[in-house]
Amino acid sequence: MGEEGARILEREVRELVRRRGLDPIGDRAGLSSLVTDAVGDYATRASVGVVPPLADPAAAVRAVTDAVGGFGPLQPYLDDPDIEEVWLNAPTHVYVARRGVPELTSTVLTAEQVRDLVERMLKTSGRRLDLSSPFVDARLPGGERLHVVIPDITRNHFAVNIRKHVVRAHSLADMVRLGSLTAQAATFLDAAVRAGLNVLVSGQTQAGKTTMLNALAGSIPGSERVISAEEVWELRLPVRDHVALQTRPPSLEGTGEVPLRRLVKEALRMRPDRIVIGEVREAEAFDLLIALNSGIPGMCTLHANTAREAVAKMTTLPLLAGENVSDRFVVPTVASAVDLVVHLGLSRTADGVVRRQVREIVAVTGRVEEGRIETAGIFDRDADGDLRRGDGMPPGEDRFERAGFDVRALLADPRAVPVGTRPAPVGPWAGAGPRAGAGPWTAR
């Protein structure tokens, strides 16, 4: 009887939402108040036998709220702070990653439920999914990133991935607190961003590149105007003067597409003091190089296995821009335009816990030998897993000086850095121990 009562209650709430013109996704407070009132009215009628009683009124409130204003059976997973990602291989195979450990849940859906959920998720994104466009990337109202593939690209069922941003680090101080890097490395990166160095954040999927990019952006001076461009809005840059651009897929007629290359070009017309590209995958790398080479500082992310592979990839992706683009232009341009590479690694311990850390920070020296760009290690992990100072030096020492930093002092023993050499400290890191940066953190 409890299940029947819950179904009746859900139908009544949906009708009330329709009559009042309430936006159940956008106005969660209004929906919660409406459901609470509806449950009270329902309980009154159930007490005199007009409708079946509810087995658990509190559970009914949660279930109806999730069904009408959330994403039904998947909503509890989205609300769980320990769950990083949710994915469906089939209606009866719903998985979650809890603190990095994947598990098969007991949730069982129908094919119709999955289609309805995907349609509801895409409703506010303005993106479509059909036979002519069987893939979709979109952002959910809560900030999660949605990716869906439909048959006949998949064999039988919708493939759905929902990636959450469990931890949002807004500064490099947060990254130190989360154990991603040492206080000395964070102090150096803070100075590098303030000095206007061009930074490439590399790593494998789910290594935490977007989180690191957000944290680096926290060091951008408040007087700067920042233009960001990405395929799906994921960046949450803690910058006051910020314009966020997002790509647009083509219409049903095949028109109106706005690719990432176009956004990078348009960003240069918007008076940027700095540009941030969410992720470089293809020919937009060429337009980014042109922007960086014109003197506009910038940052972006890139998939790569090591920092040096990221530099090599930046020399090949621009070649996709056209046959008239050659490595004779690209290689020296990358060498002069890219200053630092922050590489993130992802590993799994014996008990299944995922660790996301800065594996190395590499400087691009600007020199090219036999077509290969020279790099120098500034920080890297030793055999014990500690992030240690290397023997490399970053380029642009004069830029550090103009920003008020003594980079050589910053890279010396952190205990030897005199107080006051940093005009705008990032955070209270003086107590960082020798194994700072060895802990796990959870984010994309």
Using one digit for the tens of pLDDT, what is the confidence trace for 117-155? 998 888 877 777 877 788 888 888 877 889 999 998 998
- For residue 176, the number of C-alpha atoms closer than 13 Å in the C-beta half-sphere is 21
Q: What is the pTM of this model?
A: 0.77
Look at domain 75-163 and name its CATH class: alpha beta
Q: So what's the pLDDT on residue 352?
A: 65
Q: Encode pLDDT of 82-116 as tens digits.
A: 898 999 999 999 999 987 788 999 999 999 999 98
pLDDT over 60 at 429, yes or no: no
Look up the CATH superfamily of 172-416: P-loop containing nucleotide triphosphate hydrolases (3.40.50.300)
Is the bond preceding residue 23 a cis peptide, omega within 30 degrees? no
| Cβ atoms of residues 38 and 13 within 8 Å | yes
pLDDT over 80 at 285, yes or no: yes
**Closest to 289 (Cα-Cα) out of 316, 259, 323:** 316
Q: So what's the pLDDT on residue 48?
A: 84
Q: So what's the pLDDT on residue 412?
A: 86
| Cβ atoms of residues 77 and 95 within 8 Å | no
How many other β-carbons are positioned within 10 Å of the β-carbon of residue 343?
A: 28
Q: Encode pLDDT of 202-211 as tens digits.
A: 999 888 898 8
Indicate the angle between helix axes 307-316 and 327-337, nearest 10 degrees: 140
pLDDT over 50 at 296, yes or no: yes
pLDDT over 70 at 166, yes or no: no
3-class secondary structure, 231: coil
Instruction: Kindly state the percentage of the chain with pLDDT values over 70.
Output: 91
When the pLDDT of each residue in the chain is averaged and rounded to a whole number, the result is: 85
Measured CA to CA in angstroms, residue 437 lies from 178, 245, 307 at distances of 8, 33, 18
Going by DSSP bridges, is the β-strand pair 340-348/199-203 parallel, antiparallel, or unpaired?
parallel
Residue count of the chain: 444
User: Rounded to whole angstroms, how far apart are CA atoms 375 and 388?
Assistant: 17
Q: Encode pLDDT of 305-361 as tens digits.
A: 999 999 999 999 999 998 888 888 999 999 999 999 999 998 776 666 677 889 999
